Structure 1
Amino acid sequence: MEAKLTQIFALSQKDKAPALISLIPEILSQSGPSLVQDLHTLVDAAVNQDSIGLVAGRQLLSEVVKVLGEGAISDAQLRRRVVEDTLAIVQPKLVSYEEQVNSLRFQLADLLEQEEEWSDAARVLMGISLDSGQRSIPDSEKLRVYVRIVRLLLEDEDSVQAETYYNRAALLAHSASDRETVLQFKLCQARISDYSRKFLEAASRYHELSYVGEIDEEERRHMLLAAVTCAVLAPAGPNRSRVLASLYRDERTADLPTYNILSKMFLDHILRPAEVKEFEKSLKPHQLAKIAISSNDRLASAGNDADGDIDPTASTRTGPSTVLDRAVMEHNLLASSNIYNNITFQGLGALLDLTPGAAETMARKMIEQGRLRGSIDQVDRLIWFESNREEDDAQGKAGGLGDVEEAEDTGAPYTKRWDTQIRLTAAHVESIVQHLTGKGLVTLAVEAN
């Protein structure tokens, strides 16, 4: 190879590029270390020998990039080694060979992604020069690269760095020119919200994507499952109730393994420890992250407990330890407000497996945030719950009954009003059947004696 290159150096400038390119097929016909070594020598001479010239060097390197991209080397490991070696030679001359370097980086990222080396592939793409002054790169192309980097980083759960590139992609989202990029960006939005613990937002985005026909059916089922998981982990309150209602009405959720906990949360049933443990097995590591109790809450809980009687059998927990723990406790607190008119701090603590002071602190925060209707009597150490008529009506509609004409409210409990809605709905159905029968549109079957 050295002798052939010496002969090429002696040629005129216009003949050097064709002569160098003619060596490529001969080199690629070899295998193993000899192929890598000879190609290294050829590329190094074209890039670093002043006698070759920039124009001839670019022509040779473009041809090398082209044949590598077309799969001239079938062995993936050998091809990766060649691409990495070529990239190492050319990278110091990035200013002169920017387009060729970017193409090599895309190829290397593809190879790394095939081997599921997600973070390494993302770092290779991060090295691509997208804001160069030498050539103009369309915003749509930049968006595709940023979205791909985010997707790769999230595969290794590097959500912090992924969010940085997601923010860059968000600035270019308007330039998306194809449906695939738009869908990938929306999926990144949902996953970033999931990792950032914005579970309500993530659940809505996952649920929206689960309806997209262009996405594979198995992927859509996976997104629906993710939507249910995020809805369960979201902070209890009216906003979560609306998301739960939307998912509960979706017929597809009945086939999911998390349907049991979804239905119990939507129907405001108390969740039992065994059910929570079963659901916990399906969570990802970031959804099981530990949460810290603020010093103010810890002091408030300790101060409140100091005033009450000490029960040796009572729980000593001063707050939830994980995201799931907090979501379940807040849900059970909200569910208990539909069962009781009032409850003592000690009784609520026993229900939530918290100290009485910690239970009161949780209720106070939910009341302050508008997620629980009630008041706290610290003298009698009671929490009084207020019935939310608007929320009851909304839940009735979410259950599928729609707008039902109600009788005058006599202060009956929630269950009695629900029974009234059922009776009125049944009466309306009977009225419709009688009307259709009178018109001769429906014939009632008569049982034979």
Structure 2
Amino acid sequence: MEAKLAEYASLNQKDKGPAYTSLIPQILSQADPNAVAKDLHSLVDTVVNQDSVGLVVGRQVLTELVKVLGEGAIKDSELRKRVVEETLETVQPRIVSYEEQVNNLRFQLADLSEEEEDWSGAARVLMGISLDSGQRTFADADKLKIYVRIVRLLLEEEDSIQAETYYKRAALLVHSTTEREILLQFKLCQARISDYGRRFLEAASRYHELSYVGEIDEEERRHMLLAAVTCAVLAPAGPNRSRVLASLYRDERSAELPTYNILSKMFLDHILRSAEIKEFEGSLKPHQLAKVAISSNDRLASASHDDGPAASNEPAASTRTGPATVLDRAVMEHNLLASSKIYNNISFRGLGALLDLTPGAAETMARKMIEQGRLKGHIDQVEKLIWFEINGDEDDAQGKAGGLGDVEEAEDTGAPFTKRWDTQIRLTAAHTESIVQQLTQKGLLSLVPTSA
């Protein structure tokens, strides 16, 4: 090979391109992988780094090599990856002159790394592509594809912080394409970014929306629906979560999910038990089990209450001063909200026993939820009681059912929201009957008897 390279170096400039290019199929036809890699490295080094060869010839030969590699001339993926990496390393000092060829090689290397499930490696290779300078300027739609792919790869590696950086870049370009596949990938990245960022309510809504898209594989849609339920369970308790839970609970596909039991209990405002939580916890990802930091003020407030000795009918106080994980917090807030449907009031100590918290920590959690509008009630610190407002406007939880508007006669039965839905339907039917009777009495409507 060295002899041929030296021989071709003495040719006229116009003959060097075809001569060097003719060496590529000869090198690839060799049986020894090491010989193939070595000879290709020598060829690339000669045409790129020898000043006597010239830039035009170098680009011509390198373009042909990139083309045959992309067409699968090397079947062995390990050898192909080695050749691509060594070629990139050789060209790196003169990358400005061979930017288009280098970018194509990076795409090939990213594909090879992704096939090996080296997610972070593939992402780093794509990050090295120059999108805005040099010989080729990428269109906005092409930049969007690259950014979305980088985000997807980083999320596979659970590097959500760096993924969010590239997601923000993609968000600025999402208007540049109408390609359905890219838009769906972007929306999925959007949902996963919200999930990793612990914006669980937003993530649940996005996952649920994607689970209805017909272009997505049925198994993938089921997986997205499962992710939507998981995020909804982990979301902060309150009216907004109740709306999302209602939407998921009424989705007939949810009944087939392994998390349906906890979904139904949360929607129906049932108190969750530790055994149920333990089973659900096993299905969570590491970021969904992240530790929760308790502020020094909350820790002080949680530990400062001393209710004195427990009464004979009250349980002993817990020693926990707050939730330990994201799941722990979601369950405690749900149980607190569920208890407001059961009791008119509850003592700090009683709520602490229910939530497995100190009385002070239970009061702190209730106070925060009341301040944020997620729980209706007030706190009597003299009597050490939390009073729940049981006659509040329940429309905050699920909105006006069926678009019926205000139903003033609706009675507060304390039932779950599915029963309140039935109540509103019953009242609407009664109102309709009343209107028909009034129109009939005024002669504006005549009823035609029907035969049995």
Give the TM-score, by structure 2 length.
0.90
C-alpha deviations, 1:233-261, integer Å up to 9, x for none? Answer: 00000000011111111111111111111
Deviation at 1:396, TM superposition (A): 9.1
Q: CA 1:58–1:250 in 2, change beyond 3 Å: closer, same or farther?
A: same
- 2:30 corresponds to which residue? 30
- Distance in 2 (alpha carbons) for counterparts of 1:380 and 1:395: 33
- 1:374 corresponds to which residue? 377
Q: How does 1:69-108 map to 2 (within 5 A)?
A: 69-108=70-109
- Distance in 1 (alpha carbons) for counterparts of 2:94 and 2:191: 39
Q: Is the contact made by 1:112 and 1:120 (CA closer than 8 Å) also made in structure 2? A: yes
Q: Which runs of 5+ in 2 are unaligned?
A: 434-446
The SS at the match of 1:375 is strand
Amino acid at match of 1:385: F
Find out whether 1:352 has 2:389 as its counterpart.
Answer: no
Q: CA 1:236–1:66 in 2, change beyond 3 Å: closer, same or farther?
A: same
C-alpha deviations, 1:341-396, integer Å up to 9, x for none? Answer: 10000000000010000000000000011100100000000000012543268559
- 1:309 corresponds to which residue? 309
Deviation at 1:115, TM superposition (A): 0.5
Amino acid at match of 2:350: G
Q: Is the contact made by 2:160 and 2:196 (CA closer than 8 Å) also made in structure 1? A: yes
Q: CA 1:324–1:227 in 2, change beyond 3 Å: closer, same or farther?
A: same
C-alpha deviations, 1:140-193, integer Å up to 9, x for none? Answer: 111111110110010010111111111111111111241111111111110000
- Distance in 2 (alpha carbons) for counterparts of 1:91 and 1:203: 44
- 2:442 corresponds to which residue? none
Find out whether 1:194 has 2:159 as its counterpart.
Answer: no
- Distance in 2 (alpha carbons) for counterparts of 1:244 and 1:437: 45
C-alpha deviations, 1:206-253, integer Å up to 9, x for none? Answer: 111111111111111111110010000000000000111111111111
Q: Is the contact made by 2:235 and 2:241 (CA closer than 8 Å) also made in structure 1? A: yes
Deviation at 1:422, TM superposition (A): 4.5
Q: CA 1:320–1:420 in 2, change beyond 3 Å: closer, same or farther?
A: closer
Q: Is the contact made by 2:88 and 2:102 (CA closer than 8 Å) also made in structure 1? A: yes
- 2:443 corresponds to which residue? none
Q: Is the contact made by 1:406 and 1:420 (CA closer than 8 Å) also made in structure 2? A: no
C-alpha deviations, 1:45-84, integer Å up to 9, x for none? Answer: 0000111100000000000000000000011111111111
- Distance in 1 (alpha carbons) for counterparts of 2:418 and 2:327: 30
- Distance in 1 (alpha carbons) for counterparts of 2:22 and 2:342: 84
Q: CA 1:196–1:424 in 2, change beyond 3 Å: closer, same or farther?
A: closer
Q: Is the contact made by 2:145 and 2:182 (CA closer than 8 Å) also made in structure 1? A: yes
Q: CA 1:75–1:351 in 2, change beyond 3 Å: closer, same or farther?
A: same
Deviation at 1:309, TM superposition (A): 3.1
Q: Is the contact made by 1:290 and 1:322 (CA closer than 8 Å) also made in structure 2? A: yes
- 1:128 corresponds to which residue? 129
Q: Is the contact made by 1:229 and 1:258 (CA closer than 8 Å) also made in structure 2? A: yes
Deviation at 1:416, TM superposition (A): 11
- 1:446 corresponds to which residue? none
How large is the RMSD of aligned CA atoms in angstroms? 2.6
Q: Is the contact made by 2:239 and 2:397 (CA closer than 8 Å) also made in structure 1? A: no
- Distance in 2 (alpha carbons) for counterparts of 1:244 and 1:223: 15
Q: Which runs of 5+ in 1 are unaligned?
A: 444-449
Give the TM-score, by structure 1 length.
0.91
Equivalent of residue 342 in structure 1, options 322, 342, 345: 345
Amino acid at match of 1:337: S
- Distance in 2 (alpha carbons) for counterparts of 1:405 and 1:374: 22
Q: Is the contact made by 2:236 and 2:333 (CA closer than 8 Å) also made in structure 1? A: yes
Deviation at 1:134, TM superposition (A): 3.4
- 2:274 corresponds to which residue? 273
Amino acid at match of 1:381: K
State, as a whole percentage, how many aligned pairs show the same letter. Answer: 74
- 1:171 corresponds to which residue? 172
The SS at the match of 1:331 is helix
Q: CA 1:129–1:383 in 2, change beyond 3 Å: closer, same or farther?
A: same
Identify which range, 417-426 or 116-125, moves more after superposition.
Answer: 417-426
Deviation at 1:421, TM superposition (A): 6.8
Q: Is the contact made by 2:376 and 2:392 (CA closer than 8 Å) also made in structure 1? A: no
Q: CA 1:438–1:81 in 2, change beyond 3 Å: closer, same or farther?
A: farther
- Distance in 2 (alpha carbons) for counterparts of 1:26 and 1:100: 21
- 1:49 corresponds to which residue? 50
Amino acid at match of 2:169: R
